Amino acid sequence: MDLSHIFNLKKTAVTLISAVFLSVISVNASAQQQAEADSISAAKVEHAPEGEKEESISQTILHHIADSHEWHFWGHDEHKVSLPLPVILWTNNGPVSFLYSKHDKDEHAKTVFTENGQNLVNFHGKFFYASAQPNAHGEYIEVDKANEVVNAKPLDLSITKNVVSLLISAAVLLIVFISVANAYKTRVGKAPKGLQSMLEPIILFVRDDIAKPQLGYRYAAFMPYLLTVFFFVWLNNLMGLVPFFPGGANVTGNIAVTMMLAVCTFVLTTVNGNKNYWGHVFKPHVPWWLYPLMIPVEIIGLFTKPIALMIRLFANITAGHILILSLISLIFILKSVFVAGVAVPFVIFISVIELVVGFIQAFIFTILSALFIGMAVEEHAEH
């Protein structure tokens, strides 16, 4: 029997996938470069003095990794093309909601607008209660010495870019996994097909390489959580690398998102912790006179594990985004288009590394969650 057709199929698939990856990455690089060129030239017009140039570049980079009330496509000021998102504020007079495009003309707090009897200003995409008098720069806000705004601000419950991105990835995960789950129901005992055969190796990887070694025979109860976390973090890491519409939001590089994920792991560990686990915390195997030292240390240890999870994912993804944007910014710092010859290939190289980092961080987050849960449910603590 001739099996060469399988080889051909694989080769075609591999070629196709690498072609898609390469095109996405090159679009990524060029789109980021374009966006960067636009925003930096805009920033330069505003801050003409030379001394402020580097400041504006670092501000641009931080603006790109931050959350926002609109999904920016291209252009600036009156030529801006973006998707405005709903702003929902809980003010002193109750809830207020409007589309961001209604009040996006002035982001420097120079014009005051009234919503539901409240005077508000938009300062760099954040809403504050307006001051009665403008300050020296004509802005209706007060800043302290560290350039922090001291005005009170309404509670911001908006559907921001990160929230929309979260909803998109949740929808994608639901559609994909419900269809795969149905395929398993209807095709019992048959070979996997389509999406199912693409995802089965990854699901088995999570089960055999992450859950089973850490959790032993109790793995089945925690598989739903581990699979959800793995695919959620991985999908969001990958979507963060896509520069245009459905992607481009820095979701896993937002500390609130990673904090929620870490809190989920913390709750699971705490709820499932058995006698051994709590015994380790409150009655460690040390001489009794060490208890005043050991018990606080063990209690702090309970909290540092999820905090480390939170910081690790946040810092890894944010650092990756800053690195890519900084390399592109080199063109503008050195003010030569020829730097692009070095910077753009290097950005492509870093983007490929970021693809790997996106997977590794999802893997690390899941395996550490499994490890912490495993420590909590373990029967015989030998050490």
Partner 1 sequence: MIVGSIAGIGAGLAAIGAGIGIGQIGGKAMEGMARQPEAASKIQTAMLIAAAFVEAVALFGVVVAFLGTGNVQ
**Per-residue contact track with partner 1, 360 to 379, x per CB under 8 A?**
x--xx--xx--x--------
> Smallest distance from the beta carbon of 332 to partner 1, in angstroms?
18
Least distance to partner 1, CB of residue 51, Å: 11
Q: How far apart are the C-alpha atoms of 215 and 373, rounded to whole Å?
A: 7
Torsion of CA 267, 270, 271, 275, to 10 degrees: 170
Q: Is 274 left (phi over 0), alpha (psi -120 to 50) or beta?
A: beta
Report the residue from 159, 173, 176, 319 that binds partner 1 according to the rule CB under 8 A.
Answer: 319
322 is written with which tokens?
Answer: 């800053």
Q: Counting contacts by CB under 8 A, is residue 202 touching partner 1?
A: no
Q: Does 25 bind partner 1 (CB under 8 A)?
A: no
| Beta strands per DSSP E along the chain | 70-74, 81-84, 86-91, 94-99, 113-115, 118-123, 126-129, 155-156
Residue numbers 26-85 binding partner 1 by CB under 8 A: 58, 62, 66-67
Q: In terms of CB distance, is 229 or 348 closer to partner 1?
A: 229
**Which member of 96, 295, 312, 340 binds partner 1 (CB under 8 A)?**
312
Can residue 325 be called a binding residue for partner 1 (CB under 8 A)?
no
d(CA 151, CA 119): 12
DSSP notation for 146-213: TS-B-S---EE----HHHHHHHHHHHHHHHHHHHHHHHHHHTTTSPP-THHHHHHHHHHHIIIIIIHH
Q: Binders of partner 1: how many residues, by CB under 8 A?
A: 20
Fill in the per-residue mask, 130 to 169: x = in contact with partner 1 (CB under 8 A), - = not in contact.
----------------x-----------------------
> Candidates 106-114, 171-179, 226-234, 309-317 — which segment interacts with partner 1 by CB under 8 A?
309-317
Question: Rounded to whole angstroms, how far apart are CA atoms 318 and 76?
Answer: 24
Nearest-approach distance from CB 67 to partner 1, in angstroms: 8
User: CA end-to-end span of the chain, whole Å?
Assistant: 56
Whether the CB-CB separation of 239 and 172 falls below 8 Å is answered with no
Task: Output 29 or 123, the one with its CB closest to partner 1.
Answer: 123
Radius of gyration for the chain, computed over Cα atoms and rounded to the nearest angstrom: 25
Under rule CB under 8 A, residue 353 binds partner 1: no
Residue 260, interface with partner 1 (CB under 8 A)? no
Contact positions vs partner 1 (CB under 8 A): 58, 62, 66-67, 146, 209, 213, 308, 311-312, 314-316, 319, 360, 363-364, 367-368, 371
